[in-house]
Every structure is written in C-alpha cells, then in structure tokens.
C-alpha cells in the first residue's frame, strides 16, 4: 500500500469543511426514491438525476467526494461523457460502494452480516483503473431484544477490517461504515452503549488486519434515540453523547469522521453536525457523508423533468453549503431558504 497517497486522499476529503455526497443507492433503493416523485426506475432517470447533482456549478466548494454505485462509475451522459469524469474535472474524488449488501446472519437471522469479500481486492484494482479513489462498505447493527449479539458485532467488524485492508492494498481509501440503526424504541443511552462497543470492536479488528488508520475515514451513526422511543434526545444531547462516544472509541490517527444521516431530516442532520463542531476542536475532522439529507429536496425540485434543472442545482447547492457551514459550526436555521 502507498501510505502517503492514502493519507493524502483521506485528508483531502475532509479538508476545508467539505464532505461527501453518498449517491450510491442500489438500483432497487433508487427505485424507491424515484417512486416518491412518481417516476419510473429507468437507467435514464437514475443517470439524469445524479448528473444534475454532479453538474451543479460550485458544488465542489462543499463536496470533496461522491460515493457511486457500480452502474454510475461507468455511466455516460447522453453526450457520451462519463459521469465520473464530471466529478474529476471539478477536483472531486469519485468513490465506489463495494459491499454486496447486508444479509441475514447464520445462527441469528434477525441480525445482518454484510457480504462481498470474495474477489474484493481484484474488484478494487478494477475500480481504481476506472478512476475511483475511495470505497465504502456498510455494516448494520440492530438494537432489539437480545440484540445485538457479540457475534454479530464481531463478525461485522471483522468483515469491515478485511474490506479496509483489501482497499488499501489496491490504493483505495476505505470508508469504514458501522451503522447502529435508529430503528426501534431504544433510548439514546442504549444507542450510546451499543455504538461505543461496536466502534471499539471495529478498531480492534482494523488493528488485527494491519489497516493504516491515517488512510481511512470512519462513517458512523450519530448517537440518537430509537425513532420509536417516546423520549427523543435534543440537539445538544445528541452532539455531546456522539462526541463522547467517538472520543472513547476512535483513535486520533483517523483523519476524519464523516457521519451518515441515518433517517434524519435534512435540517436535523445539519443541525446535529453543527452542534458537534460548535463544541470546539476534536482530534479528527467532523464532516458529513449524507445521502437523503443532501438529495431529498433536490429530487423533489427535479421531479423527473430536466426543465427543472436550474431549480435542482440551486436546491442542491444550498443543502451542500449548509452542511459545509456545519463543519465550521457556523450553520444557523435562519440561513434556510
């Protein structure tokens, strides 16, 4: 592995209050998004919406990397330009989702284990040749009755570590994504407990695999109440407990933490990130790797019609700018349009 190159890409991605657009929805998931605006799940619709985001003038001031689905990495505009080349021309790193999804775990089918390690190194070499410079693998941890089990946390942590090592050996920066889901009625304290245990286990496994920490990014959940919990943690509680959890579990060598939005609304995701960065300096940059929380309003503005591109550009630009301000702790709800 080229440690210098990996560290540069990882640091670049979280430099200057920029973050990541997660545009790596699988084809079925993208179909659910398009259904919200009454559009068919066609390759053309998937391409046109993503192209609108990538072509937004000035998005590169706030977005440093975009995670792509495999289809999108080689997809071309109607004029024949690869979508990834649009990103490269703006100085934005193309990334790639490499996992094969979370599947019921043997021995505990209510829990999930992410698959995709077979042939991963070879795939990563191919993705690098196609222009990808970072990758993503998502593990999901469910809180429920007698869950998560130690076996589930350890198995997912081990897979994340093996993925990260394969990426680094192929010169891709791995985004390590252990997501403790907000599904359920658990308290914010329970989320904290599970998150800390999960993150600590992940870093144990990364160490076991010899993963170079300055050349990774962590993409964790925030510490929040389960969405069905009658008592929801307020903004400051979420920020304080999330930072406390990360300080207890994430080594300082990691250059950046890029949060997932995990079902939060666009403004909630921005407010929580802002509150954390208002708390002062942290050992790592705190930034974003949002999907829905960057795209939702833009999707509705586009509405399946390229006649709406100017509005789509403006809405996406605004959302990206708000999250960039949150990386400085300079966001305010009064800035919303």
Domain boundaries, the chain: 3-335
For 3-335, CATH gives 3.20.20.70
Determine the Cα–Cα distance for residues 44 and 146; give it in Å rounded to an integer: 44
> Burial, 104: exposed, middle or buried (Cβ in 10 Å; 0-12, 13-18, 19+)?
exposed
Catalytic residue among 177, 196, 205, 266: 177
What local confidence, expressed as pLDDT, does residue 262 receive?
Answer: 87
Active site residue 244: no
**Residue 263's pLDDT is what?**
87
Q: 122 an active-site residue? A: no
pTM of the predicted model as reported, rounded to 2 decimal places? 0.97
| Neighbouring residues of 304: CB distance < 8 A, sequence distance ≥ 6 | 34, 37, 38, 39, 45
For the stretch 300-311, pLDDT in tens is 999 999 999 999
- Pick the catalytic residue: 162, 197, 219, 325? 219
What's the pLDDT score for residue 280? Answer: 86
| Cis peptide, bond prior to residue 148, ω within 30 of zero | yes
- pLDDT tens digits for range 28-38: 999 999 999 99
Specify the 3-state DSSP secondary structure of 145.
coil
pLDDT lower than 50: segments of the chain:
none
Other CB atoms closer than 10 Å to residue 270's CB: what's the count? 26
Strand partners, 63: 19
3-state DSSP assignment of residue 20 = strand
How many residues belong to the chain? 337
């Amino acid at each position: 592995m080229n440690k210098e190159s990996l560290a540069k890409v990882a640091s670049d991605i979280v430099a200057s209050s920029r973050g990541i657009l997660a545009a790596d929805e699988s084809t079925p998931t993208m179909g659910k998004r398009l259904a919200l605006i009454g559009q068919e799940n066609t390759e053309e619709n998937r391409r046109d919406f993503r192209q609108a985001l990538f072509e937004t003038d000035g998005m590169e001031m706030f977005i440093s990397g975009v995670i792509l689905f495999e289809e999108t990495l080689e997809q071309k505009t109607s004029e024949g330009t690869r979508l990834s080349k649009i990103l490269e021309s703006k100085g934005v790193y193309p990334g790639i989702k490499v996992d094969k999804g979370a599947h019921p775990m043997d021995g505990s089918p209510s829990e999930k284990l992410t698959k995709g390690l077979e042939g991963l190194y070879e795939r990563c070499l191919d993705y690098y040749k196609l222009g990808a410079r970072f990758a993503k693998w998502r593990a999901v941890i469910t809180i429920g009755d007698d869950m998560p089990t130690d076996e589930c946390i350890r198995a997912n942590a081990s897979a994340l570590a093996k993925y990260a090592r394969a990426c680094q050996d192929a010169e891709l920066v791995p985004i390590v994504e252990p997501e403790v889901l907000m599904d359920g009625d658990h308290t914010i304290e329970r989320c904290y407990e599970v998150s800390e245990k999960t993150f600590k286990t992940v870093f144990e496994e990364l160490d076991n695999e010899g993963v170079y920490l300055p050349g990774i990014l962590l993409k964790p959940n925030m510490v929040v109440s389960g969405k069905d919990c009658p008592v929801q943690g307020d903004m400051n509680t979420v920020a304080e407990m999330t930072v406390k959890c990360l300080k207890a579990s994430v080594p300082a060598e990691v250059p950046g933490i890029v949060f997932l939005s995990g079902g939060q609304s666009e403004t909630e995701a921005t407010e929580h990130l802002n509150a954390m960065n208002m708390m002062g300096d942290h050992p790592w940059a705190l930034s974003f790797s949002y999907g829905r929380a960057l795209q939702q309003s833009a999707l509705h503005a586009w509405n399946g019609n390229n006649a709406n591109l100017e509005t789509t550009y403006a809405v996406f630009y605004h959302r990206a700018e708000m999250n960039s301000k949150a990386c400085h702790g300079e966001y305010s709800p009064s800035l919303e349009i």
